[in-house]
Amino acid sequence: MSIELNNEFGQIDISTDVLAQIAGGAAVECYGIVGMASKHQIRDGLTDILRKENFAKGVVIRKQNDDLHIDMYIIVSYGTKISEVAYQVQSKVKYTVDKTLGMSVKSVNIFVQGVRVAND
């Protein structure tokens, strides 16, 4: 699947994988996030953190009536204020997608799939 943009010169297709990479990349730069998780933790058997090339498994891009929605499955660090970390991810992802792709995102939904306790 891909997202289409039209302008007077023609059409631009952006693969959802690309969008997922960008959204995932923006998310993991946020403080308090230790990684992206798979959407289907059991099926994929990946209880662990996704590697960069698999970000798409933890980011779901949906297009509904021309609105763009992004679902993100993340793992956060124990001892942080999780609600705030999630909010930061939403804000950063929305901003980054808007900046780099010029698309406005209707919603960024965060699913906290895990908490990681740092060994201290």
Partner 1 sequence: MQSLDGIKFAEMVQMGAHHLFQNANYVDSLNVFPVPDGDTGTNMNLSMTSGAKETEQYASEHIGKTAQALSKGLLMGARGNSGVILSQLFRGFGKSIEKEATIDAKGFAGAFQAGVETAYKAVMKPVEGTILTVAREAAKKGVEVAETETDIIAVMEAFTAEAQASLQRTPELLPVLKEVGVVDSGGQGLLFVYEGFLASLKGEPLPVKNEATLDDLINAEHHRAQDFMNTMDIEFGYCTEIMVRFEEGKEPFSEEQFRNELNPLGDSLLVISDEEIAKVHIHSEQPGAVLAMGQKYGSLIKIKVDNMREQHSAIVGEDHKAPSSAKKAEKHPYAIVTIAMGEGVAELLRSIGASYVIEGGQTMNPSTEDIVKAVQEIGAEKVLILPNNKNIVMAAEQAVELLDIEAAVVPTKTIPQGMAAILSFNPEAAVEMNQATMTEAFANVKTGQVTYAVRDTSIDGVEIHKDDFMALAEGKIVLSTPALKDAAEKVITDLVDEDAEIVTVIYGEDTTEENASELVKFIEENYPEVEVELFNGKQGLYPYIISVE
Note the residues at the interface with partner 1 (CB under 8 A).
6-8, 28-35, 49, 66, 77, 79-81, 84-85, 88, 91-92, 95, 118, 120
Q: Tell the smallest beta-carbon distance from residue 79 to partner 1 (Å).
A: 6
Give the residue with the Cβ less far from partner 1, 2 or 87.
Answer: 87
3 by Cβ neighbours in 10 Å (0-12 / 13-18 / 19+) ranks as: middle
CB nearer partner 1, residue 16 or residue 88: 88
CB of 80 to partner 1, least distance (A): 6
Nearer to partner 1, 42 or 114 (CB): 114
In angstroms, give the least distance from the CB of 107 to partner 1: 17
For partner 1, which is the closer residue by CB, 1 or 78?
78
